[in-house]
Amino acid sequence: MSNNNSNNYDPHIQNSQEDLWRVFRIMAEFVEGFEKMSTIKPSVAIFGSARANPGDKYYELTKEVAKEIVRAGYGVITGGGPGIMEAANKGAKDAGGSSAGVNIELPHEQDSNPYIDRDKLLSFRYFFVRKVMFFKYAQGYILMPGGFGTSDEFFEVLTLIQTGKTTRFPVVLMGKEFWTELIDWMNKKLLSHHYISREDLDLFTTTDDPAEAASFVHSFHKGKKHTTNF
C-alpha cells in the first residue's frame, strides 16, 4: 500500500511557513534593538575596518577620535567587533564615556570586543536590521578607513541624506590620504556624468584631526534638539 503523505507535500506552503517565521525573527530583532538603543545617550557612529590591529595608525587615530567625541559630550556607537570598532569603543572607555556595540553574527572576524558597555551590546542576524540601528540613533557618522562594509555604510548614509529619507547629520571621513582617490573618482566620474550634483559633495567633510572631527559634529548640533533620524 503506497504512502500518500509524500504526495501531499507542497514546497510553496513550506517556503511560506519558513518566511513567516523569518518575519517574526526580524520583528524580534527590531523590537529588541529599538528598546535598547532608545536608552542610549546622543551618540556618534564610528565605522571602519574590522581588520586593523592595535598599533596601526588608523587604529590609534580612531581611539583619539572616540576620546574627542566623548569630550564633546557624546557617546560612541560601533559595529561592536574588532579592529577600528574595538579602537573606537576602547577610546570611549578610556575617556570615561558611554560606548555601544551593534554587532552582526558572522562566521569570522566579528566577535564582540571587550570595551563595550555590557548593557549596550546588541547582536543581530540581519545586516539591514543592524543598519537601521545605526542610522536611526546616530547623531553623526565618522568613517575611518575600511573595506567593503565601510564603503557600503558611507554610500548608504549619503544616499539616505541625499534622498531626504533621513535627517541630515554630519558625515566625516577621517584619513585624507586614504579617501582622496575615492573623492577624486566621485568628482571625475559621478559629477562629470551628472550622476550626482555639486552640492552632494558637500554632504561630507574630510579631516585628519580628531578634535576637528568632534568639533564639526558638536557645531552642527549646537542649539538644536537631538533626535532620531527617521
CATH assignment of the domain containing 129:
3.40.50.450
* Pairwise CA distance, residues 69 & 91, whole Å: 9
122 vs 68, 144, 183, CA distance in Å?
24, 22, 33
* Pairwise CA distance, residues 189 & 175, whole Å: 22
Residue 156's nearest CA partner among 118, 178, 188, 127 is: 127
Find the domain containing 111 and state its range: 11-221
* Residue 140, domain member (yes or no): yes
- The count of other CB atoms within 10 Å of the CB of residue 215 is 14
pTM: 0.89
* Residue 58, domain member (yes or no): yes
DSSP state letter for 114: T
The total number of structural domains in the chain stands at 1
CA R_g for the chain: 20
- The count of other CB atoms within 10 Å of the CB of residue 55 is 7
* Residue 5, domain member (yes or no): no
* Residue 50, domain member (yes or no): yes
* Residue 2, domain member (yes or no): no
Burial 177-208 (b: 16+ CB within 10 A, else e): ebbeeeeeebeeeeeeeeebeeebeebbebbe
In the three-class reduction of DSSP (H, G, I as helix; E, B as strand; rest coil), residue 85 is classed as helix
* Residue 227, domain member (yes or no): no
* Residue 164, domain member (yes or no): yes
* Residue 198, domain member (yes or no): yes
Q: What is the pLDDT along the chain (230 residues), one digit of tens a residue?
A: 455 555 666 666 667 788 889 999 999 999 999 999 999 999 999 999 999 999 999 999 999 999 999 999 999 999 999 999 999 999 999 999 999 999 988 776 567 899 999 889 999 999 999 999 999 999 999 999 999 999 999 999 999 999 999 989 999 999 999 999 999 999 999 999 999 999 999 999 999 999 999 999 999 998 777 766 65
